[in-house]
Amino acid sequence: MVTGIMKTQPRNPGYGFTLLELVISMALGLLVLGSMASLFKTGLNSVMLVTQRAETQQNMRAAIDLMVKDISMAGAGLPSGGIQLPTGNGSSLSDFGCDQAAICHVPAFNYPNNNYMYGVIPGFNNGVEANAVVAAAPPPIINDSITVIYSDYNFPLFEYDVAFPTPGDGTSIALTPNAAYVPPPPPVNAAGGIQVGDLIMLSNSLGTAVGEVTNLGPGFIEFADRDPLNINQNGAASNNVKAISTGANTIAYRLFAVTYYLTVPANGQTPRLMRQVNGLTPVPVADDIINLQFAYDTYNSGNGSLDPNQSNPLAAGESPNLIQKINIVLMGQSILNNGNKSQNMYLATSVSARNMAFRNRYQ
């Protein structure tokens, strides 16, 4: 009897995976790819975030470093308490923050308190040109300006002998290099020297006055009436250049009246911080600055205490001559944008006004 043997046919390896195995493997693969894509996107966002913060911080630090340099010099070389500009019959208020085209870049641009030139002029809520709206600024939207005034010691205008060609007429001065200085000073109109729009402080036996340069040559400077800053008021009753034009031993210094403010360009660009000096053309300091605020620690002469963080000392009846410290808060928006995601950052610092009035609170 022959017994048949049943043989099992071997499985054909060419059959591959089953449909269920393929679906499971694809699902697992998609999960892995999705996780990798999410990690990649997170990495890109982190890189963009760090780049935004680094760029914004660098931009803001450059701006605040320049402001600190100017503000720390406030009042340097000025007579104690500042300078009274033209007053009396025939006078009118003089301007700051304006250029040679008679464009004033801050909304309120007259010297305060009957035309007085302080070392620091606070500009509460006066910090955006033409009162434009900085849409990105945080509410309540308050942007300030600041104007600081100090003597320029770099150009040696004091190395000249100063004379008035016509005593009693304050429209010009003649300058002759003083032989005591070797080498002699450069011509006043040399590169980096005096230019039209600059402010010149003149001091002699009769007092101190300020004139705006309207014309100059190697040995003369003119202060014609109707200058863009309305400083040269030869017809004013007092405190103009004419009032000291018969005095002796006149010394001249260039002044820097520096105004910081924000402007919103009309072509859709982001707000920028501007620096304007004397009657010259403003220059940009930093882009994407959306908020600028100042507060002042001011000595209260009435009770002998310090009034901290005064946002508007002029309105509070505080004298700018008694400002001890200026507190600065600057807010910037990232220059690089990741879609619509912009980074906003604050940078704050304080500057001691070392050339302003000093009060020993420890005596």
DSSP string, 54-107: HHHHHHHHHHHHHHHHHHHTTTTTSPTT-EE-SBSTT----BSSB-TT--BSSS
Residue 17, in any domain of the structure: no
User: What's the predicted TM-score (pTM) here?
Assistant: 0.85
Residue 24, in any domain of the structure: no
From residue 42, alpha-carbon distances to 33, 35, 38, 46 in Å are 14, 10, 6, 6
Residue 184, in any domain of the structure: yes
Residue 144, in any domain of the structure: yes
Instruction: Give residue 338's pLDDT.
Output: 46
The whole-angstrom separation of Cα 274 and Cα 251 is: 32
The whole-angstrom separation of Cα 360 and Cα 337 is: 49
Residue 163, in any domain of the structure: yes
Which neighbouring-strand residues pair with 211?
Answer: 200
**Domain extent for 203:** 52-352
Residue 19, in any domain of the structure: no
Alpha-helical (H) ranges within 73-138 are 112-115
Residue 43, in any domain of the structure: no
Exposure string (b/e) for 64-73, b if CB count within 10 Å is 16 or more? bebbeebbbb
Per-residue pLDDT of the chain (363 residues; tens, 9 = 90+): 555 555 555 555 556 668 777 788 788 888 888 777 777 666 666 655 666 666 767 888 889 999 999 999 999 999 988 999 999 999 999 999 999 999 999 999 999 999 999 999 999 999 999 999 998 888 888 999 999 999 998 999 999 999 999 999 999 999 999 999 999 999 999 888 999 999 999 999 999 999 999 999 999 999 999 899 999 999 999 999 999 999 999 999 999 999 999 999 887 778 999 999 999 999 999 988 999 999 999 988 778 788 999 999 999 999 999 999 999 999 988 765 544 567 788 899 999 887 775 555 444
Residue 241, in any domain of the structure: yes
Split into its structural domains, the chain has a count of: 1
